[in-house]
Amino acid sequence: MVSCISTQVHSIIKLQLKRTFQLPNFKHDLVQLDISSNNLTGMLPKEFGLVLPRLVYINMSRNNFGGNVPSSISETPALSILDLSHNNFSGELPGSLFANCTMYCALFLSNNNFQGNVFPQDMDLRSMTVLDMKNNNFSAMVDADLLNSRSLSSLNFFDISNNKVSGPIPRLLCNLTYLVFLDLSKNRLYGSMPSCFDSSLLRFLFLQKNNLSGPIPHELLRSPNLWALDLRDNNFSGNIPSWIGQFSELQVLLLGGNALHGRIPNQLCELRNANIMDLSRNLLFGSVPSCFSNISFGNNISFGTMEVVDFPNFVIIYLNNPDLNLHLPWVEWDYSELVEVEFATKYRYNSYKGDIINSMAGIDLSCNELSGSIPQEIGDLHEIRSLNLSHNHITGSIPVSFSNLRSLESLDLGNNNLSGEIPSELVALTFLGTFNVSYNNLSGRVPNGAQFGTFDENNYRGNPGLCGERIHKSCKSDEAPQTPPPSADVEEEDEGVIDMVWFYWSFSGAYVTILLVLTAILRINKHWRMLWFYYVDVCIYSISIWVCQN
């Protein structure tokens, strides 16, 4: 979409139909420019800002532009929003960019090839409220001089995830006291949270997949209004602090993949609005708290219906229906992918964004040292969609009350010490797509109705006392064993050997061909390359489960 305040706009609309970006040969009064998702290639013209000096909003995202951002883009004094995401830009930004922007500036650099320091030392970013730098090759957070001079002190949104940033979290980050969204995940950060960190407005904090260590930072108490906290896959140790229960608005708590130990504190049950809770892959012991039934897990107010949030340096951000709308001068712009949460269900990590987050509710306590029986009260979580208690030392029977979990889609109780029969009442779980009770001490007949008609022996293996049609084991002890099929004659065996030789050759040839095609696709297509690394992450999760089991 191209919007303008001039009647002479036709020559600019045509650029949507071309593969290269071309400017008119005269100065234009265009105010808003959106050429996103057009597969445009090449470099931006050097005279870009000279031809379009009145631009307030520029969106060039999701194209194939490359090279440096032309210095003439700083000749647009009214510019408030610049979106360069999902391209191949590199190099340094013009020093006078946003020089005349006095409030509500937004810069999107994600999914490019930026590295090093893209901000010149003389660049004034005091009015910058949104800075998105994720999925690049940055090795440092931002230049220390920028943080020290409070040039970024107005930031509400800061995302530098999935880069190569190493070292401890800079103390200078403490200057960003107006942060509402902070994502430092998937980097090489180590150490602990700076003691000076104090952001009372913070709602979303993502620190997962780094090398952070020590106890869960007590400094988080200075951010009492958190909605989402993700500390997964670090080296945090110690107990889960009881003060986490003070985050009354917390809806997503992800602590999996650390070295946390001790009992699960009952204070977690005070998180009445929680939808997703991941405590997996730690060293927690004791029993599963029965008071988990006090947590909503799907019954609470969602991200999509939160009240209007007034940010001190932003105009307003609405979390409604369920996109995040940034109301900036001249533009109403949707950013529905602002919040992304990863949660393991159905044997893999899934990402939930926008309204999808509101439909997900789950508990993952797998790969710990939990013991005792499963509380009957868990059956009161009627809206929960995923429950994973696998790879623990849980005893007792499967509660009949689980038949009340009518929204349940994934139930994993494998690798425990459960005994007794599988309740036949579980056939009422009509949405159940994943069910695992393997490697327990269960006995009796396997349910065979509704969704249970789709499960096979892989879901029940390691339980010698189970029987039933689904696992091809009769429940009648006096039934005669089946007669083994007659052996094939020698001529058929020889023919089978010949067929297998051809099979191995065909399989090897197909394998090599697929490998070459896959390599070519990943080298050429950036989108498929990122998707490939996502599935690599799924494999890593599966391996972690195997390590936990062994």
- The 10s digit of each residue's pLDDT in 456-470 is 889 999 999 999 888
Burial call 172-199: b when 16+ CB within 10 Å, e when fewer: bbbbbbbbbbbbbbbbebeebbbeebeb
Which residue, of 138, 162, 180, is where some domain finishes?
138
Same domain, yes or no, for 414 and 521?
no
How many domains are contained in the chain?
3
Q: Residue 310: pLDDT above 50? A: no
Q: How far apart are CA 122 and CA 179, in angstroms?
A: 23
Same domain, yes or no, for 459 and 519?
no
Q: How far apart are CA 120 and CA 145, in angstroms?
A: 10
290 falls within a domain: no
167 falls within a domain: no
Residues 6+ apart with CB under 8 A from 415: 390, 391, 392, 438, 439, 440, 549
Tokens matching residue 328: 């900036």
Which residue, of 471, 495, 529, is where some domain finishes?
471
Same domain, yes or no, for 9 and 87?
yes
What domain range includes position 534? Answer: 511-543
Q: How far apart are CA 179 and CA 185, in angstroms?
A: 16
Q: What is the pLDDT of residue 506?
A: 77
- Nearest CA-CA partner of 201 in 217, 223, 170, 216: 223
Same domain, yes or no, for 21 and 133?
yes
Least confident of 201-210, 355-364, 500-509: 500-509
Q: Residue 5: pLDDT above 80? A: no
How many CB atoms are located within 10 Å of the residue 76 CB?
23
Mean pLDDT confidence for 273-279: 93
Q: Residue 425: pLDDT above 90? A: yes
Tokens matching residue 189: 């950060």
41 falls within a domain: yes
Q: What is the pLDDT of residue 349?
A: 72
420 falls within a domain: yes
Same domain, yes or no, for 537 and 464?
no
Residues 6+ apart with CB under 8 A from 348: 538, 541, 542
The DSSP bridge partners found for residue 276 are: 252, 362
- Nearest CA-CA partner of 200 in 227, 172, 226: 226
244 falls within a domain: no
Domain CATH number, residue 401: 3.80.10.10
Same domain, yes or no, for 106 and 1?
yes
Q: How far apart are CA 69 and CA 417, in angstroms?
A: 61
The listed range with the strongest mean pLDDT (64-78, 299-313, 365-379) is 365-379
If one compares 19 and 161, the residue with the highest pLDDT of the two is: 161
- Nearest CA-CA partner of 199 in 171, 174, 165: 174
The pTM of this model reads 0.80
314 falls within a domain: no
* Torsion angles phi and psi, residue 195, rounded to 5: -65, -20
152 falls within a domain: no
Which residue, of 105, 138, 171, is where some domain finishes?
138
The listed range with the strongest mean pLDDT (226-240, 291-305, 310-324) is 226-240
Q: What is the pLDDT of residue 145?
A: 55
If one compares 265 and 2, the residue with the highest pLDDT of the two is: 265
Contact at 8 Å (CB) between 200 and 224? yes
